Amino acid sequence: MGGRWMIPEMLSDYHLPALSYTWQDKRFILGEAESLLGKEYPSLPCSSYMAFTQNGDRIVFEEPYFRRRNMLCTFILAEALEGKGRFLPSVLDGLWFLLEESTWCLPAHNVYKRDDPALPFADIHRPVIDLFAAESGSLLACCLSLLKGRLPETVAARMEESIRERIVQPYLHEDFWWMARGGDPRPCNWSPWCTQNVLLAFFLTKTSQNERHEAFSIANSTLSVYAASFPDDGCCSEGAEYYRRSALSLFFALSLMDQVSSHAYAWVWKDAKLKKMTQYIQTMHVDGRYYVNWGDCSACPGLSGVREYLFGKAVGSPSLMAFAKSQLCIASPAERLLQAESDLFIRYVVLTASEEAMAYAGTEEHQPWVDYPSLGVIVVRSGGLVSSVKADANGGSHQHNDGGSLTVFKEGKPLLIDVGVETYTQKTFSSGRYAIWTMRSPWHNVANPKGLEQLPDGGKPSVKRDGWIVTLDLSCLYPPQEGFSYIRTVDFSHGLLVHDHMEGREEGVLTLMSVEKPVCDGMNITFGSVAQIVAQGGGHVEVEELPVTDARLKRAWQGPIYRTLLDFKKDLIWMLK
């Protein structure tokens, strides 16, 4: 996607899509708003903000922060749909709270330089634009557009002023790390996500042509660096959950830039890399609500839908459009219309395009083998199985120590699982990250030398493919030791056949994580009624039951999960039946 980025001389206002909805969707939004009438917006005391730097607790502030915005978005949409003033007092109350907040930035993100420790207090004279400060600015800007002429002039003026103070001026004069410029050009999902919402703040409010031109130039630079850094195979390294805040945010940012520049960016929709980025989410889908996952991504990251449909439509991908429609067909109104609860722009877009997406009649296509060399990810569909292996260097953004780990679904049900990540705390993104059990290789479907485990700073494993057979040299992921090697060979040709070959001073221990309770009979391990694994070369077998109490993990795993440990010397061959 490089080489054709341009900055037009004249930039127009951005116009939200025309309001379009079904009566069922209108009734749902009005019902949600009616259920909130009379309920107070939650408070955000200073003590809650300070909790993150004092004890690492993110939830005590973030839960009421997002609930406040969720309520406000619902009232704004309801008022935009009904237009009778019934919800306007609640809208004004919510706007009052946002305008009075000392900062829109989350406590965990209150930094000016990447990887610095968070500051305990916000500097109101030097606002930080993080993911949700940008989203808050977008919320106010969209509200001004949707309720134009219905808000008191003094309130509208105050909203414009706050957007200018907290978004427009900082964006033009600060160099936030996610802008991917200067001495630290390392883009991540923050780059398109923040940029999308900042651009909405600029192009839906009363900014000058000079300010818009400068903002467009900054966004152009950020997105071009981000697009250039994205691998040519289109793989989102952070997984399906983050695709919605990386590739989809890039899509909406580019759509806005294309519109305000009189379609100077129309060329991007024919770009080969962008099209591969759109296809990624479909290749990660297993069945229903399940997706292939790794790192901080959940196996149930939320259903795809309208946003994916629009992305597929823009790049000309009928298969993605059909896939998005199939996901919409199993979504409840709440899953479809409330998926991005605090993001007014996304909620509005979903509302206006749902009817079109649901009416699409294209055909979804599946590939039996998908290979993403940039991350060492392979996804294979064969004989009722969806199997995946990941063999990348550990330690990247949102990654775990999981090199060579396998995940397997049978007939759409999880068999060998990637647990995911617990609710974020201060420790999650600290030097203690890889002491958390969900991040460690002994809790992934891979073998480890007894008493040892993978490191976050090893090299990138070699991956060789011969037909349906993949050979992974995972030796570099473990602590250096004389004579150590670990080769994993996976044969996908007849279901799943794995050969783990480990040499060194220590015996090997294979981990198998499952949601079905294992029943062991020697080297035969039965996982409920789902499947059986037959192993050769193993010794002692041990099964542990792990209760799931964390709210984030419960999104995918409602009951306990299980860890099966198989000791072996040098060679272990195991087959899935």
Identify the H or E element spanning 183. Answer: none
Q: Do residues 422 and 461 both lie within one domain?
A: yes
Q: Do residues 145 and 245 both lie within one domain?
A: yes
CA distance 338 to 127: 29
Average pLDDT over residues 287-307: 96
Residue 166 lies in a domain: yes
The percentage of residues in the chain with a pLDDT greater than 70, rounded to a whole number, is 98
Query: What are phi and psi for residue 454, nearest 5 degrees?
Result: -70, 155
Tokens of 433: 């990250």
CA distance 197 to 219: 11
Question: Does residue 538 have a pLDDT over 90?
Answer: no
- Yes or no: say if 260 and 12 are a contact pair by the CB < 8 Å rule: yes
What pLDDT shows up at residue 2? 55
Identify which of 148, 144, 175 has the alpha carbon closest to the alpha carbon of residue 162.
144
Question: Does residue 571 have a pLDDT over 60?
Answer: yes
Tokens of 143: 């509200």
The percentage of residues in the chain with a pLDDT greater than 90, rounded to a whole number, is 89
- Yes or no: say if 72 and 91 are a contact pair by the CB < 8 Å rule: yes
- At 274, is the pLDDT very low, low, confident or very high (cuts 50, 70, 90)? very high
Residue 133 lies in a domain: yes
| CA-based radius of gyration for the chain | 25
Q: Do residues 68 and 89 both lie within one domain?
A: yes
Q: Do residues 431 and 532 both lie within one domain?
A: yes
* SS3 state of residue 128: coil
Residue 165 lies in a domain: yes
CATH of the domain at 433: 2.70.98.70
- At 154, is the pLDDT very low, low, confident or very high (cuts 50, 70, 90)? very high
Q: Do residues 333 and 384 both lie within one domain?
A: no
The 3-class secondary structure across 37-68, one letter per residue, is CCCCCCCCCHHHHHHHHHHCCCHHHHHHHHHH
What pLDDT shows up at residue 5? 67
Q: Give the structural domain span for 154.
A: 23-358
HSE at residue 30, side-chain half, CA atoms within 13 A, is 14
Average pLDDT over residues 249-268: 95
Strand bridging mode 369-372 / 413-416: unpaired
Average pLDDT over residues 94-109: 98
The DSSP line for 70-93 is HHHHHHHHHHHHH-SSSSHHHHHH
Q: Do residues 428 and 324 both lie within one domain?
A: no
Q: What is the mean pLDDT of the chain?
A: 95
- Residue that the structure tokens 């399906």 belong to: 240
Question: Does residue 3 have a pLDDT over 80?
Answer: no
Domain edge (last residue) among 358, 392, 409: 358
Q: Do residues 458 and 346 both lie within one domain?
A: no
Q: Do residues 381 and 327 both lie within one domain?
A: no
CA distance 60 to 53: 12
Q: How many domains does the chain have?
A: 2
Domain edge (last residue) among 358, 382, 402: 358
- At 114, is the pLDDT very low, low, confident or very high (cuts 50, 70, 90)? confident
Residue 31 lies in a domain: yes
Q: Do residues 468 and 552 both lie within one domain?
A: yes
CATH of the domain at 325: 1.50.10.100
Residue 322 lies in a domain: yes
Average pLDDT over residues 26-33: 98
Q: What is the pLDDT of residues 175-214, one digit of tens each?
A: 999 998 766 667 889 999 999 999 999 999 999 999 999 9
Q: Do residues 289 and 402 both lie within one domain?
A: no
Domain edge (last residue) among 297, 324, 358: 358
Count of Cβ atoms closer than 10 Å to residue 2 Cβ: 10
Chain centroid, CA 439 distance in Å: 17
Residue 3 lies in a domain: no
- Residue that the structure tokens 């099209």 belong to: 275
